[in-house]
Amino acid sequence: MTRDPAAARACVEELYATHHAEIHGYLARMVGDDELAADLTQETFVKAYRAFDTLQDVTLARAWLYRIGGRTALDELRRRRLVRFVPWTGEARGVGASAEDVALRGRLSSELERALAAIPARQRMALLLSELHELNGVELAAALDTSHDAARALLARARESLRQALAVERARTAPGEQAKDTLSRLHLRGRRPRQPGGGGR
């Protein structure tokens, strides 16, 4: 792209006006802090201006911004040793969605947050970019700075990792939820659970 500072500034300002809200949303979900995400969004666009000559294809400018933003967020997370995601609300698209699709596109439960936190960071990035921000295959590859085939493979691994992590979380929380349901039913019936070794009256 152009090396003319004025032209680069004008283009980045246009990109900022178009994409800053979604970049901020992505970064907020990466770091779990709106104020920090606002700072990282500004940093992302400053870096974009400084690295403007690395934008080879203007049609992939959005993915290029996500790549810069993702690296900026990961740098911050490494500094803070913080890896967390926050709930989002998304709209489902298509038909025949898997359980993982439904979970990702709905509101994150604490169970799903823990499952996401348990999978590798780049896999989490791939899921966020593909499912929440709806990057297509070419854009996803550009945002992750990898080949199209590698991005598809990473996303497939991410889905499988999430499926396994969700199974672990559901198995872990199931006994507690069953106990709560039992106590709720007993409370509604006006009865108390029988104490171990004790007799009922």
* Helix or strand run (H / E) with residue 155: helix 148-188
The CATH number that applies at residue 29 is 1.10.1740.10
Which pair of structure tokens corresponds to residue 88? 């989002």
Residue 187 lies in a domain: no
**Termini Cα distance of the chain:** 83
Are 106 and 161 members of one domain? yes
pLDDT in tens, 26-58: 888 788 788 999 999 999 999 999 999 899 888
pLDDT of 135-170, one tens digit each?
999 999 999 999 999 999 999 999 999 999 999 988
The reply to whether 121 and 159 lie within a common domain is: yes
Asked if residue 42 and residue 17 are part of one domain, the reply reads: yes
139 in a domain, yes or no? Answer: no
- Is residue 177 situated within a structural domain? no
d(CA 128, CA 125): 5
In terms of domains, do 8 and 53 share one? yes
DSSP class of residue 106? S
Q: How many CB atoms lie within 10 A of CB 108?
A: 19
Residues 8 and 74 occupy one common structural domain: yes
Find the domain containing 62 and state its range.
Answer: 1-84
Say which range, 61-65, 96-100, 161-165, 196-200, has the weakest mean pLDDT: 96-100
Question: Residue 73: which of 26, 118, 117, 116 has the closest Cα?
Answer: 26
104 CB neighbour count, 10 Å cutoff: 22
Q: Are 98 and 58 in contact (CB under 8 A)?
A: no
Q: What is the number of domains present in the chain?
A: 2
Which pTM does this prediction carry? 0.64
Q: Is residue 181 part of a domain?
A: no
Q: What is the dihedral of CA 149, 153, 154, 159, to 10 degrees?
A: 140
What pLDDT does 70 receive? Answer: 92
Q: Are 41 and 17 within one domain?
A: yes
- State the average pLDDT over residues 13-18: 95
Q: Quick one: tokens of 57?
A: 């294809």
